[in-house]
């Protein structure tokens, strides 16, 4: 009987000691810190890494927003957000824990672009039409595009392809606007027209100054002087009488 009692007492002692040791092991940390206190993701989403420092034996990720995914590594974790298609900014927190101490990371994802940059700001298009590839840099991947009816837009992985119809009429110009929310970028283009008189340029040489932009005058006391041509404003060119540039 005595051996049984001794064995039971030993078992209880081992359990108590084991629980004490486990409690000490699990709650040994006095601090846990992250190298960032907040993360901001663009509308398109991406992945970012966060470093973890602590003095405990282990750490873990306690909570994560439903729209974000956190993967634990040895001394860091990677946060990934997919595209935000809700139309609203979203915010949440990721909590990491070691023992009884925790650290919190604020996570925000925008619903619209914070910047849009185009690889081209100006295009000159031949009267026969043609195509141009324009790269788009942005933290969004969903854009509204406005363009004249004779411009055809095709989206691709790096931006847009613009195809211009042939122009048999007057020379023309316009804007292609890429936007998301309140952020936008624009591209201005000019296309030659089919006017035989000016070659589609929309202007011709000024007949008043012969295209020099200057008028020479002779005075008895002043001699020869020059002044800007009043007909062309000193440019040497005047609007084509058969067509109007920009229409």
Q: Which residue bears the tokens 């292609």?
A: 176
Please report, to the nearest 10 degrees, the dihedral formed by the alpha carbons of residues 194, 126, 157, 141 taken in order.
-60
* Residue 124 β-bridge partners: 190
Q: Is the pLDDT of residue 49 over 80?
A: yes
pLDDT in tens, 179-195: 998 999 999 999 987 77
| 218 — pLDDT class (breaks 50, 70, 90) | confident
pLDDT in tens, 14-32: 654 444 445 555 556 799 9
90 to 61, 71, 117, 183: CA distances (angstroms): 20, 20, 24, 19
| 130 — pLDDT class (breaks 50, 70, 90) | very high
Calculate mean pLDDT across residues 81-95. Answer: 95
> Quick check: 162 and 151 in contact, CB under 8 A?
yes
Per-residue DSSP letter, 244: -
């Amino acid at each position: 009987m005595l051996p049984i009692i001794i064995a039971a007492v030993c078992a209880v002692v081992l359990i108590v000691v084991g629980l004490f040791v486990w409690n000490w092991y699990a709650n040994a940390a006095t601090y846990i810190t992250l190298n960032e206190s907040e993360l901001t993701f663009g509308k398109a989403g991406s992945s970012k890494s966060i470093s973890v420092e602590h003095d405990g034996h282990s750490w873990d990720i306690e909570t994560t927003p439903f729209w974000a995914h956190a993967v634990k590594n040895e001394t860091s974790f990677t946060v990934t957000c997919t595209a935000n298609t809700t139309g609203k900014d979203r915010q949440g927190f990721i909590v990491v824990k070691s023992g009884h101490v925790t650290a919190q990371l604020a996570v925000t994802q925008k619903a619209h672009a914070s910047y849009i940059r185009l690889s081209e700001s100006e295009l000159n298009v031949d009267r026969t039409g043609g195509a141009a590839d324009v790269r788009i840099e942005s933290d969004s991947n969903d854009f509204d595009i406005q363009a004249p009816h004779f411009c055809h837009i095709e989206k691709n992985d790096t931006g847009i392809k613009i195809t211009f119809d042939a122009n048999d009429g007057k020379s023309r110009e316009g804007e292609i606007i890429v936007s998301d929310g309140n952020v936008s970028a624009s591209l201005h283009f000019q296309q030659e027209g089919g006017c035989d008189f000016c070659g589609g340029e929309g202007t011709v040489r000024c007949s008043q100054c012969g295209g020099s932009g200057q008028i020479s005058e002779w005075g008895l006391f002043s001699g020869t002087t020059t002044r800007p041509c009043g007909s062309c404003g000193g440019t040497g060119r005047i609007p084509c009488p058969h067509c109007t540039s920009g229409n």
